[in-house]
Amino acid sequence: MKDTPLDLSRLATMDGGQATRLLQRIREASLAGDRPPVAPRPVIGASWQRMRRLGVDPDRQAGRVVLAAEELEHRRRTSALAEVIRGVTGGLTDVADATLQILVVSDDQGRVLWREGNPRVSRRADSISLAEGAAWAEQVTGTNAIGTALAARAPVQVHAAEHFVHTLAHWTCAAAPVHDPRDGRLLGAIDVSGPAVGFHPTTLALVTSVARLAESELRERHQRAVERLRSVAAPILCRVGGRAMAVDTHGWTAAVTGMAPVDRLPLPKSLRPGRLWLPSLGRCTAEPLPGGWLLTVEEEPPPETPSKVVLDLSRPRRWSLTVTGAAGSWAQELTPRHAELLYVLAVHRDGRSAAELAADVFGDPTRTVTVRAEMSRVRRHLAGVLAHRPYRFSEEVEVEVVRPEHPADLLPHSTAPAVTGGRLFGLDPA
């Protein structure tokens, strides 16, 4: 039984005091390097390991440094969450207030942007610096729902002594990350926190549903913006000879002429009017449109095969692929799934079949349909870089993988067998 990790459903069936004591024993044994009576939940155990590597002091006080009022207001105004947060969290705020908890919304760095809920609990939250402008990233405050959900890019509930910093052991919290549906970028987290006596495992499902609702609202707003761009671009494209397309600022296609449509075209961050090179199109001319860009493809021979690809997995939550060739260089941020797939292909230069990739990523060789769909999306954006039958990087391309300093930080969100194998002593799977 000691090797079977604890789970929230088991905690929920236990007496509150008994559950608290068990979590304390697990935490104390784990931090001392001893074998705990029951293994911590995997997401908690992985976070504790990160805290030890980062040198976080479990006896520290929660971070007291908060943002200046001007900086806090700037982050609120520029956050994509500001567009939707009031509309989707109203009901959750009422629930939090009624159950003696508070609702907290952070940005992608774990900074608290908004806090609402029960006034009495809010005053208690001030004592642990769970306040607007405070930092709740893992490296600042240790294992906690906001910081750990952002690090794992998945919903997380942290209860009592599962917090790494012991001053938080009287709290329970559940948080879910919110991603921008336009580009997959992490926007922040929605969290419900309160005294540990208010713990209930269903809180996590409630918070997760609100986070998904926020993403759905952002997606609908984006679709309306693309429709507006299409109405502007359509008459312009009718007058353009050759190949051209109108895309929004995130690369989503609004209209196209002279070529097959794609859902999205990755754009460089520093896109400006003028000529540029894109791997999937070659030489183009970019002209601004209201809410997007007009890309006109220059009629010339296809660009040469890029000479080098750098897959950068060194940063905690942002992974990128940089393509360099005679025509210039181009970089694209990667979704977690695409980062996994490209890592596997970088390790296996001889290529992988769809079944092998399915086993590498999902641990299930039968999930070939999902793999083919994902690889189709990747290959649309990386013409000349990726080949298929089997899937592989082109032989002419030099591939470099930039790994995190510590092997255990390789794609920390991932449960893919190929990635977990790559974390062991920094070795790539054979």
Tell me what percent of the residues of the chain surpass a pLDDT of 90: 53
Any idea which of 103-107, 240-244, 384-388 has the lowest mean pLDDT?
384-388
Tokens of 42: 């995997």
CA angle 274, 285, 273 (to 5 degrees): 30
The per-residue pLDDT for 429 is: 46
pLDDT band at 430, cuts 50/70/90? very low
Per-residue pLDDT for 1 more than 50? no
Buried-exposed string 293-325: b where 16+ CB fall within 10 A, e elsewhere: bbbbbeeeeebeebeebbbbbeebbebbbbbbb
Q: Contact 157/94 with Cβ under 8 angstroms?
A: no
The per-residue pLDDT for 172 is: 94
Q: In what order do the strands lie in the sheet with 398-402?
A: 328-334, 319-325, 308-312, 398-402
Looking at every residue in the chain, the average pLDDT score rounds to: 88
Beta bridge pairs of residue 178: 188
Q: Which residue has the tokens 């004591």?
A: 21
Q: Which residue has the tokens 């090797």?
A: 3
Q: pLDDT tens, 364-388? A: 989 999 999 999 888 877 767 888 8
Mean pLDDT of 109-119: 94
pLDDT band at 54, cuts 50/70/90? confident
The per-residue pLDDT for 224 is: 96
89 or 193: which leads in pLDDT: 193
Tell me the pTM: 0.77
Peptide bond into 407 cis (omega under 30): no
Tell me what percent of the residues of the chain surpass a pLDDT of 70: 94
pLDDT band at 428, cuts 50/70/90? low
Q: pLDDT tens, 251-274? A: 999 999 998 888 888 888 778 899
Tokens of 141: 């405050």
Mean pLDDT of 388-417: 87
CA pair distance 413, 102, nearest whole angstrom: 27
Q: pLDDT tens, 169-213? A: 999 999 999 999 988 889 999 999 999 988 888 899 999 999 999
The per-residue pLDDT for 305 is: 60
Per-residue pLDDT for 63 more than 60? no
Mean pLDDT of 220-246: 93
Tokens of 361: 């990523």
